[in-house]
Amino acid sequence: MKPSYGDPPFFVPRLFGRVLAATCAVAALGLVAARAIFGPITTVDLVGTAVCTPLVAYLVHLVLAPARAKR
């Protein structure tokens, strides 16, 4: 098993906070657009958005973390 001294961390709190804020903004804009186009938003839509937004933010954070570690 190789040592993981050079690997980026699995969680960078500062980066995750920024990505989460951006993802929440995009999700809110998406909900507003869906409301304008399709009409009322159901509870299922809100719960799905609330569950998926942090997951997407974490995945984006994992993509960006190695790029920031190389700097």
Q: What tens digit of pLDDT does each residue of 6-39 get?
A: 666 688 899 999 999 999 999 999 999 999 999 9
H/E run at residue 31: helix 13-38
Q: Residue 20 has which token pair?
A: 């989460």
More confident position, 71 or 39: 39
Q: What percent of the chain has pLDDT over 70?
A: 80
Q: Looking at the predicted structure, is the pLDDT value of residue 1 above 60?
A: no
Residue 60: other Cβ atoms inside 10 A: 16
Q: Token digits for 33?
A: 């657009």
Nearest to 71 by CA among 12, 19, 1: 12
